[in-house]
A = this chain, B = another copy of it.
């Protein structure tokens, strides 16, 4: 069972545990500062497939399959899988996972999908409707680039605030057993602060992260010091500075606990990745590759607040801003 603390915020009364997790990353991510932490590095950006979209599907299938194997399970042991990605109509997920034949809930939370999936998968177990669920998501530099920005062969210049979509996937399996537990969560609200620059996603998403983190701290009566890390998804360096500023103005200093997966995954200067990594697979792979193993070793608790920008190229062409969202998962060692 879960207990509602305030609108969209809950505590998990009977803890839902993280039984297994896995991360798969591309070559560039493998060369970055976190390269050694990922379970698998796939050197071929096509992953043996004829198109990038099919490659992304394969990344997602690989991450789930690996998480299943690591737990000594088979795919039939998973009751429900929650997934989504950035490609139009979420084909990275649907074509990637169809062969698993696991009851499937498709999500769209842009780069917040890993947290949204974990929240949904947690609440399904908490309701009693399933015993074991999974959450997975992915992104691919080349599928995102041609869909959201320009064809790769156009060779467009990148602005200083732009980020680099990660080629990566992360998967988590939830059940009644494991060394880590989901202690609670916060479902994000759509936040629109008027940013309309598609090359400055971090700034668009920072207010959403601030709203979600603040709401969770307030509802639970906890403070940044209570957590080892407060992790955001892919604000990058610009968005991270902004998040810390917004929180400071509200009287909450999270600067010592804050880490951003996007800012961590690349060595921006050496790798030419602008403000950092982005994409659903960024926070998913860094959570599953780096933070969850770290939390098992060190014991403690973290807040994982993945962040997503909910616009489309069409909505921007029609004069829309970049509405954003951040979903938060509170994870602690058992």
Contacts of A186 in B (CB 8 A): 103
Bitwise, A69-108 to B at CB < 8 A (1) or not (0) is 0000000100110001011111100110110011111111
Q: Would A108 and B79 be within 8 Å (CB), given that A91-B311, A128-B13 are in contact?
A: no
Q: How many residues of A contact B (CB 8 A)?
A: 65
Contacts of A123 in B (CB 8 A): 123-124, 127, 129
- The answer to whether A129 touches B126 (Cβ under 8 A) is yes
Q: Kindly state the separation between the CA atoms of A189 and B110 in the bound complex, as whole angstroms.
A: 22
Closest to A109 in B: B106
Of A27-35, A37-45, A228-236, A314-322, the one touching chain B: A314-322
- The answer to whether B105 touches A116 (Cβ under 8 A) is yes
Q: Kindly state the separation between the CA atoms of A124 and B9 in the bound complex, as whole angstroms.
A: 11
Q: Kindly state the separation between the CA atoms of A97 and B188 in the bound complex, as whole angstroms.
A: 13
Q: Does A62 contact B (CB under 8 A)?
A: no
- The answer to whether B4 touches A131 (Cβ under 8 A) is yes
Contacts of A318 in B (CB 8 A): 50-51, 53-54
Known interface pairs A3-B129, A7-B79; 9 further A-B residue pairs with C-beta atoms within 8 A, sorted by A's residue number: A51-B318, A54-B318, A94-B325, A98-B191, A101-B189, A103-B188, A106-B116, A108-B108, A120-B120
* 9 cross-chain pairs, A with B, having the tightest CB-CB distances, nearest first: A8-B103, A89-B312, A10-B129, A103-B187, A127-B127, A126-B127, A98-B190, A94-B310, A2-B129
- What would be 19 A-B contacts, judged by CB atoms less than 8 Å apart? A1-B127, A3-B129, A4-B130, A7-B103, A8-B79, A8-B103, A10-B130, A88-B312, A90-B310, A91-B314, A94-B310, A94-B325, A98-B191, A104-B187, A105-B187, A106-B107, A106-B325, A107-B107, A126-B128
